[in-house]
Structure 1
Amino acid sequence: MRRSEFLRAVEDEFPGRSSSLLNDLVLSPLSGRTAKEALAAGLPPRDIWLALCTEMEVPESRRYGVGRLEPRKR
Protein backbone atom coordinates (compact mmCIF):
# COMPACT_ATOMS: atom_id res chain seq x y z
CA MET A 1 0.00 0.00 0.00
CA ARG A 2 1.35 3.37 -0.98
CA ARG A 3 0.93 6.52 1.05
CA SER A 4 -1.57 7.89 -1.49
CA GLU A 5 -3.58 4.66 -1.30
CA PHE A 6 -3.53 4.87 2.49
CA LEU A 7 -4.81 8.44 2.51
CA ARG A 8 -7.52 7.55 -0.02
CA ALA A 9 -8.55 4.53 2.06
CA VAL A 10 -8.86 6.64 5.21
CA GLU A 11 -11.00 9.22 3.41
CA ASP A 12 -13.17 6.51 1.82
CA GLU A 13 -13.74 4.69 5.11
CA PHE A 14 -14.09 7.76 7.34
CA PRO A 15 -15.46 10.60 5.19
CA GLY A 16 -15.30 13.94 6.95
CA ARG A 17 -13.30 12.51 9.87
CA SER A 18 -10.10 11.48 8.16
CA SER A 19 -8.09 14.55 9.13
CA SER A 20 -8.91 14.32 12.83
CA LEU A 21 -8.28 10.56 12.88
CA LEU A 22 -4.88 10.97 11.23
CA ASN A 23 -3.82 13.82 13.50
CA ASP A 24 -5.45 13.05 16.84
CA LEU A 25 -6.16 9.34 17.30
CA VAL A 26 -3.34 7.63 19.21
CA LEU A 27 -2.84 4.07 17.97
CA SER A 28 -1.59 1.60 20.59
CA PRO A 29 -0.13 -0.89 18.07
CA LEU A 30 2.07 1.92 16.73
CA SER A 31 3.76 2.63 20.06
CA GLY A 32 1.27 5.34 20.95
CA ARG A 33 1.78 7.33 17.77
CA THR A 34 -0.87 8.98 15.67
CA ALA A 35 -1.11 7.91 12.03
CA LYS A 36 0.52 11.19 11.00
CA GLU A 37 3.44 10.59 13.38
CA ALA A 38 3.79 6.99 12.20
CA LEU A 39 3.94 8.10 8.56
CA ALA A 40 6.58 10.70 9.45
CA ALA A 41 8.57 8.01 11.28
CA GLY A 42 8.61 5.89 8.12
CA LEU A 43 6.28 3.09 9.18
CA PRO A 44 4.65 1.27 6.27
CA PRO A 45 1.26 2.76 5.36
CA ARG A 46 -0.26 -0.74 5.30
CA ASP A 47 0.67 -1.28 8.96
CA ILE A 48 -0.80 2.08 9.88
CA TRP A 49 -3.99 1.30 7.93
CA LEU A 50 -4.43 -2.02 9.75
CA ALA A 51 -3.79 -0.40 13.15
CA LEU A 52 -6.36 2.29 12.37
CA CYS A 53 -8.87 -0.32 11.21
CA THR A 54 -8.37 -2.32 14.39
CA GLU A 55 -8.78 0.74 16.60
CA MET A 56 -11.90 1.88 14.75
CA GLU A 57 -13.35 -1.66 14.51
CA VAL A 58 -13.55 -1.68 10.72
CA PRO A 59 -14.80 -5.10 9.56
CA GLU A 60 -12.10 -7.25 7.97
CA SER A 61 -14.09 -7.38 4.74
CA ARG A 62 -13.38 -3.66 4.24
CA ARG A 63 -9.70 -3.69 5.17
CA TYR A 64 -8.07 -5.18 2.10
CA GLY A 65 -7.69 -3.25 -1.10
CA VAL A 66 -9.47 -0.10 -0.01
CA GLY A 67 -7.84 2.97 -1.48
CA ARG A 68 -6.44 1.21 -4.51
CA LEU A 69 -7.09 2.69 -7.86
CA GLU A 70 -8.98 0.60 -10.36
CA PRO A 71 -6.67 -0.87 -13.03
CA ARG A 72 -6.47 1.12 -16.21
CA LYS A 73 -8.46 -0.25 -19.09
CA ARG A 74 -6.45 -0.92 -22.21
Structure 2
Amino acid sequence: MRRSEFDRAVADEFGGAYGAVVTADLGLSGMGGRTATEAIADGEAPRAVWTALCEAADVPPERRYGVGRLEPRS
Protein backbone atom coordinates (compact mmCIF):
# COMPACT_ATOMS: atom_id res chain seq x y z
CA MET A 1 0.00 0.00 0.00
CA ARG A 2 1.35 3.40 -0.97
CA ARG A 3 0.78 6.55 1.05
CA SER A 4 -1.71 7.82 -1.55
CA GLU A 5 -3.65 4.55 -1.23
CA PHE A 6 -3.63 4.93 2.56
CA ASP A 7 -5.04 8.45 2.24
CA ARG A 8 -7.80 7.25 -0.13
CA ALA A 9 -8.63 4.33 2.18
CA VAL A 10 -8.96 6.67 5.17
CA ALA A 11 -11.14 9.09 3.20
CA ASP A 12 -13.34 6.27 1.87
CA GLU A 13 -13.80 4.63 5.27
CA PHE A 14 -14.06 7.65 7.57
CA GLY A 15 -14.78 10.61 5.29
CA GLY A 16 -12.49 13.52 4.64
CA ALA A 17 -12.91 15.63 7.77
CA TYR A 18 -13.41 12.77 10.22
CA GLY A 19 -10.57 10.82 8.61
CA ALA A 20 -8.22 13.70 9.36
CA VAL A 21 -9.34 13.69 12.99
CA VAL A 22 -9.01 9.90 13.33
CA THR A 23 -5.50 9.80 11.88
CA ALA A 24 -4.34 12.75 13.99
CA ASP A 25 -6.00 11.92 17.34
CA LEU A 26 -6.58 8.17 17.71
CA GLY A 27 -3.70 6.41 19.49
CA LEU A 28 -3.05 3.02 17.91
CA SER A 29 -1.98 0.22 20.24
CA GLY A 30 -0.51 -1.62 17.24
CA MET A 31 1.77 1.37 16.69
CA GLY A 32 2.92 1.79 20.28
CA GLY A 33 0.25 4.37 21.08
CA ARG A 34 1.25 6.68 18.24
CA THR A 35 -1.37 8.16 15.98
CA ALA A 36 -1.51 7.13 12.32
CA THR A 37 -0.03 10.49 11.37
CA GLU A 38 2.87 10.03 13.80
CA ALA A 39 3.50 6.42 12.74
CA ILE A 40 3.67 7.32 9.06
CA ALA A 41 5.93 10.30 9.82
CA ASP A 42 8.20 7.89 11.73
CA GLY A 43 8.51 5.71 8.63
CA GLU A 44 6.05 2.92 9.39
CA ALA A 45 4.62 1.20 6.31
CA PRO A 46 1.23 2.63 5.33
CA ARG A 47 -0.26 -0.91 5.14
CA ALA A 48 0.80 -1.62 8.74
CA VAL A 49 -0.63 1.71 9.89
CA TRP A 50 -3.87 1.05 7.98
CA THR A 51 -4.20 -2.36 9.64
CA ALA A 52 -3.60 -0.87 13.10
CA LEU A 53 -6.10 1.91 12.38
CA CYS A 54 -8.72 -0.61 11.24
CA GLU A 55 -8.22 -2.67 14.39
CA ALA A 56 -8.50 0.39 16.64
CA ALA A 57 -11.61 1.68 14.86
CA ASP A 58 -13.33 -1.74 14.54
CA VAL A 59 -13.43 -1.60 10.74
CA PRO A 60 -14.88 -4.92 9.51
CA PRO A 61 -12.35 -7.23 7.83
CA GLU A 62 -14.15 -7.09 4.48
CA ARG A 63 -13.42 -3.35 4.27
CA ARG A 64 -9.75 -3.58 5.24
CA TYR A 65 -8.07 -5.15 2.23
CA GLY A 66 -7.60 -3.78 -1.24
CA VAL A 67 -9.01 -0.39 -0.35
CA GLY A 68 -7.41 2.79 -1.53
CA ARG A 69 -6.49 1.40 -4.91
CA LEU A 70 -7.62 3.17 -8.01
CA GLU A 71 -9.62 1.09 -10.43
CA PRO A 72 -7.52 -0.18 -13.33
CA ARG A 73 -7.64 2.03 -16.38
CA SER A 74 -9.68 0.60 -19.21
TM-score scaled by length of structure 2: 0.95
Number of residue equivalences: 73
Give the match for residue 2 of structure 2: 2
Question: How far apart are 1:56 and its partner, in Å?
Answer: 0.6
Give the match for residue 29 of structure 1: 30
4+ aligned runs moved over 4 Å, structure 1: none
Residue pairs, 1:1-74, within 5 angstroms: 1-15=1-15, 16-73=17-74
Cα distance between partner residues in 1 of 2:60 and 2:40:
23
- Provide structure 1 residue ranges, at least 5 long, that are not aligned to the other structure: none
Question: How far apart are 1:52 and its partner, in Å?
Answer: 0.5
Secondary structure, counterpart of 1:17 in structure 2: helix
- Give the root-mean-square deviation of aligned CA atoms: 0.6
Cα distance between partner residues in 2 of 1:57 and 1:46:
16
**Of Structure 1 and Structure 2, which has the larger fraction of its residues in helix?**
2
Secondary structure, counterpart of 2:67 in structure 1: coil
